[in-house]
A and B are shown apart, each in its own frame.
Chain A
Amino acid sequence: MKLPALTTVAFGAAVALIFFYAPTDADQGFSQRIFYFHVPIALTSYACFGWGAWKALRYLRTRDERADLESYVAIHQGVIFGALTLVTGSIWARASWGVWWSWSENQLVLFLVLFLFYCAYFMLRYSVDAGPARMNMSAVYALFGVVLIPVSFLAIRLSQRFIHPVVFDSHAPSNMTGSQWLSFIVSFAAMLLLFATLYNVELAGKRIDAHLRELRELLGRRLDVGPQRAQAPAAPAPGREPA
């Protein structure tokens, strides 16, 4: 119970700092404050993918089924934070340049590539039947992702040279003042805590789900033994695919 409370406090503090404490940007004005959401969300998304890959490696080393589920949940959260990164980045581009999408923002383009890559993770996972084969493939794909991140980043940097000769300066103020740093750090901590909370909640839900399914199967098998129920085995709940 401590973690959700801590997350709430950190989030409240972050919002207060961002809107009332951080100085208004002289150049971009009020809209620059989205920086304190956008960049921490993006960094948290990287953390999710990294954590998912670490759990995937743990799975391949130990064959522990829990690590497979943990890897899945981390990547699921990573895709959610990645989608938020795209949305906040798009809003920011609209506010400061008047366009919804800009190919000259390296980080944003990288997130588009990663978003596409990790969405396919779910396609892969739900197309293969549950079992060790699926766990192995999911783990290998999750590990591939963290190798692809730096390679894609380098590729996108390179592509700027022949697609956009003029590179915009990065949005992030390179010489942030103390109050800006404080707002940024608190916001980043709040996002990481939010990830940890959501991760725990989803993991608990998935585990309860799996446990329930096991019990239901057990019950179904018991009932099958009885002569009058032989024709009606307990059906699994429709539309419930094991994660």
Chain B
Amino acid sequence: MRYVSDVGALARKDLLLELRAKETLPSMLLFVISALTIFHFALPAGTSDVAARGLLWSALVFTALLGLTRAFVAEREQGMFDALVLTPCDRSAIWLAKSIAVLAFLAAAEVVALPAFAAFFHGLDGRTVAAVALADLGIVAVGTLFGAMAVAGRARELLLPLLFLPAAIPIVVGGVGGYLWFLVLYDAIFAVFAWGTFEYVIAEA
């Protein structure tokens, strides 16, 4: 029970911060709509459904990357990491709370992006929506772990895409092919991995 309330308090902190500052979500929304607009011009007329769907997945991965890059910036710049590490709570709770907050931003961006995609291109099927929902879980699980690593370095914004994109290739494969079981497998494996190793990433920060 302690664990759940810790996670709740930490996630609430992030959501409240975003509600007041309004930094991450508006930029994610603008980014994903701009990306879809660029795709319209990048694709030749009469392009197949499959090609457009492939581009949707790259738009989603890069939008998530935008949110993940911002996720730990406040912690690092305001010296919040020291406070978090000193907090008498399980450190994996920090990962879980941050993942929930990023997932909320990503889901909010997709609530706009998916209908926009359906309107701009060929429409959507239920399978794609389900795949997006499952992929989101894997993206935030892995992205939050790598985000905490990247923010500790000097390169920061530059580093996260390098760490994250190779690991996100399986998500894109599962999403474009519509292999829901594969996405579930990915989510399960890497959520457990990130949950178990996160404490090492921030322990000495």
A residues contacting B by CB (< 8 A) are 60, 113-114, 116-117, 119-120, 123-124, 127-128, 131-133, 136-137, 139-141, 143-144, 147-148, 151-152, 154-156, 158-159, 161-162
Contacts and interface: CB of A to CB of B under 8 A. Distances in A.
Contact of B149 (A60, A137, A147, A154): A137
Given A60-B200, A133-B203, 14 more contacts: A117-B166, A120-B163, A123-B155, A124-B150, A139-B200, A141-B149, A147-B190, A151-B170, A151-B185, A151-B189, A155-B169, A158-B174, A158-B177, A159-B173
A138 to B, nearest CB: 9
A52 B204 CA distance: 22
26 contacts: A114-B166, A116-B165, A117-B167, A123-B155, A124-B149, A124-B153, A127-B153, A127-B155, A128-B154, A133-B203, A133-B205, A136-B200, A137-B149, A137-B200, A140-B197, A143-B193, A144-B193, A147-B193, A148-B166, A151-B186, A151-B190, A154-B182, A154-B185, A158-B182, A159-B176, A162-B177
A147 B149 CA distance: 18
A75 to B, nearest CB: 14
Nearest to A109: B169
Contacts, number: 93
Interface of B: 50, 145, 149-150, 152-155, 159, 162-163, 165-167, 169-170, 173-174, 176-177, 179, 182, 185-186, 189-190, 193, 197, 200-201, 203-205
Contacts of A155: 169-170, 173-174, 182
Q: Chain A at the B interface: mostly helix, strand, loop or mixed?
A: helix
Nearest to B186: A151
Given A60-B200, A127-B155, A136-B203, A158 B149 contact: no
Contact of B177 (A139, A140, A159): A159
Contacts of A156: 173
A128 B148 CA distance: 12
A60 B9 CA distance: 29
B13 to A, nearest CB: 23
Contacts of A131: 204
A154 B170 contact: yes
B177 A116 contact: no
B200 A140 contact: yes
A165 to B, nearest CB: 13
Contacts of B177: 158-159, 161-162
Task: Give the one of A136, A158, A162 with max B CB within 10 A.
Answer: A136
A155 B170 CA distance: 5
Contacts of A116: 165-166
Contacts of A128: 149, 152-154
Contacts of A162: 50, 176-177
B200 A127 contact: no
